[in-house]
Amino acid sequence: MKKILTFCFFLLFATNIQAQDFSNLRLGIQVSPTFSWMSTNSNQITSSGTKLGLNLGFTGEYFFTENYSLVSGVSLLVNQGGGLEYSYAGNFLENTAAEDRPTSAIDISNIPAESKISYSNQYIEIPVSIRLRTNEFGYFRYFAEMPVFSLGFRTQSRADISGTLTSDNENIAGDMNPVSFKWGLGGGVEYSVSQSLSLVGGIYYNSTLIDVIKDSTDDDSKATINSLTIKIAALF
């Protein structure tokens, strides 16, 4: 139902734009590196390690005044997550442990204390934000973008377990929530190469608002993914 409502919203948005002057619309692409890490609200689980990922996708900007615009698009986010170290033992990946895994696989139904789980997720994401730009100085404009809200649909989840018990590349899709919702803010600079081409660079901070890990019987903490994105985009 959430996917259907989201699709209807963006279909309505696209139809509204179609009825307007297309000179107010710019489209582009981005290839942006990300640095993500995980945190929780439990003092028995500590953040341990970051993930270098990538944000690949299409972006669109619709101007409703000269310096104010609505920004959206669709992106593939690769290798999002980070490491969490657990000070106590437990069945933290109970849905994964309960799956029909190979008989040669390590038993992960009771992960020892002081173990680290490194989470890696992939999402299809739809961001929506307001961009505020300055007037042009030479070929440059500076901008702030806030708030940035993003709806993500998880397409893949993997984990490496290290410590007394080790296991690599576990498929943990059953233990991760399928949808994420993030907020964020950012800013940067736009360079006008020509009337029809601009290069954009910026830095953005994002954090999930809902728990990205399904609660196990041994863990009722809330885990979030935080990230810094170095945005590199071209707008046409």
For each of the chain's 236 residues, which pLDDT tens digit applies?
A: 444 434 444 444 444 444 445 678 999 999 999 999 999 999 999 999 999 999 999 999 999 998 999 999 999 999 999 999 999 999 999 999 887 777 778 899 899 999 999 999 999 999 999 999 999 998 999 999 999 999 999 999 999 999 999 999 999 999 999 999 999 999 999 999 998 899 999 999 999 999 999 876 666 789 999 999 999 999 99
Close Cβ partners of 106 (under 8 Å, ≥ 6 residues apart)? 165, 166, 167
**pTM of the complete model:** 0.86
3-state secondary structure of 190: strand
Domain boundaries, the chain: 27-235
How far is the CA of 31 from the CAs of 78, 83, 231, in angstroms? 11, 24, 7
Hey, what CATH topology would domain 27-235 get? Answer: Porin (2.40.160)
